[in-house]
Amino acid sequence: MTQDGTTANPRPLKARHVSMISIGGIIGSGLFVGSSAAIAATGPAIVVSYAIAGVLILLVMRMLADMALASPGAGSFTEHIRIGLGNGAGFVAGWLYWIFWALAIALEGLAGASIIVTWLPGTEPWQVGLLLVGGMTALNLLSVRAFGESEFWLSGIKVAAILLFIGVAAFAVGKGMIGGGGIPAPLYAFGGFAPFGAASVFSGVTAVILALVGAEIITIAAADAHEPGPVIARLTTTLIIRVALFYLLSMLLIVAIVPWTTIRPGASPFAMALAAVGAPGASLVMNAVIIVAVLSCMNSGVYVCSRVLTALAAKGEAPAWFGKADARGVPVRAILAGSGAAALAVLASVLSAERLFAMLVNATGMVMLIVYLMLVLAHMGFVRRGGESRLPRAAAPIVIAAMVAVIASMLATPGLASQAWAGLASTALLALAYRALSRRRAPA
């Protein structure tokens, strides 16, 4: 029931929409551009880093599926954290997740804007970034069905582009191996497969694990889909496997074609690989794909932000005003709140690039690790209470140990320490905020 007393279609999304919405949140500029920094810092062994990160995320998603099957009506995955660890954990996880996606919308918008401004002389990245945020906001305001359909096609273009890249690159590598009769030289000829040693493989996990987050969006989008329980259970495993294979195959082919020493952070390694195999118009094609990826990720981000804020409002942990939907079932106020926060972050890149925006960017890195860690702890409690799980009992402690190791690695790495501390500080502030909220509620 909406605020004006009318009833909107409660389940406008189908499984295909939910699947593509999640892919939209996972595959953004981080794959097509951000992977360049990870390759430059790790070398060809980055493939192993992606494999380790993929296994960790797969285990977390499998745990989420266990809890979603047991409580299909819980809604957002942060509510499973609430069920397992209490209202305080649900409050902290919900707001951390909202902050993460609000900033992700801004960062993706600026990534796309950096390309578009090269086509539009006289424009500034922040101006284009604001236009992109506004456009994705307008699309989400139309209807849930319009959002789902647009995201289905945007994500479909991304998947098609990745598959085409894999096909072209695999043919080029295979042809070279058949002709040369050996392993592609870029995999070993420039300092070896792991030029920075075995330790770099594990530090590389720190750099790439955040690129694989986003599959949990399934639990949010499934709330607008038919039979959310089965949809979540089926897609949480299959989706992350597909995406991990996209990442792994893409990275393996890139480092097999392009010497890792020539890959520059900030430049698309996909475009470099296509250019190396003689694909015509590689740079233009990849720039177009990156724009589509950015729009898709922003589209999913606006949707996720609004639904998380709506869930928090329903629990009394955000102003009730944000929990209202219009006659079409669209949470207009929550959408505008998330987009407004993203727009402010875009403006921060201009007004205080050296301080404020850098702090915002740094805060995002640690946030998802903390949220996922809370999700694993919630699953441990779920199993202790008799919940069914097909995972061995050792899975949760192993994942926790791995994530703690990643966090420790971030704290010990000069370039990532500020990111880790910013995320920890955000978590502490939200914990204090919940304590203050609880005290204010106590007399009532």
State how far the Cα of 68 lies from the Cα of 230, in Å rounded to an integer: 9
Q: Which residues, other chains included, contact 340 with Cβ-Cβ below 8 Å and sequence gap of 6+?
A: none
Residue stretches of the chain with pLDDT short of 70:
1-22, 24-25, 72-75, 177-181, 221-237, 239-240, 352-363, 365, 415, 442-444
Q: Which two tokens stand for residue 10?
A: 């409660």
pLDDT of amino acid 19: 67
pLDDT of amino acid 66: 85
pLDDT of amino acid 430: 93
**Chain centre distance of CA 239:** 13
Contact 259, 40 (CB under 8 A): no
Contact 305, 101 (CB under 8 A): yes
Burial of 43 (0-12, 13-18, 19+ CB in 10 A): buried
Helices (H), 258-394: 269-276, 282-314, 332-351, 358-384
State how far the Cα of 315 lies from the Cα of 320, in Å rounded to an integer: 9
Helices (H), 30-143: 35-42, 46-70, 77-85, 87-116, 125-142
Residue tagged 């058949």 (tokens): 178
Q: SS3 for 31?
A: helix
pLDDT of amino acid 431: 93
pLDDT of amino acid 399: 92
pLDDT of amino acid 7: 43
Q: Which residues, other chains included, contact 410 with Cβ-Cβ below 8 Å and sequence gap of 6+?
A: 206, 365, 366, 416, 417, 419, 420
Nearest to 210 by CA among 433, 409, 63: 409
Nearest to 310 by CA among 212, 224, 427: 224
Give the DSSP H/E element, type plus range, for residue 65. Answer: helix 46-70
pLDDT of amino acid 368: 84
Across the chain, how many H-helices and E-strands are there?
17, 0
Specify the pTM: 0.84
- CATH class entry, domain 15-436: mainly alpha
User: Taking the domains of the chain in order of start, what are their residue ranges?
Assistant: 15-436
Residue tagged 């295979």 (tokens): 174
Q: Which two tokens stand for residue 418?
A: 């500020």
Contact 331, 325 (CB under 8 A): yes
Q: Which residues, other chains included, contact 284 with Cβ-Cβ below 8 Å and sequence gap of 6+?
A: none
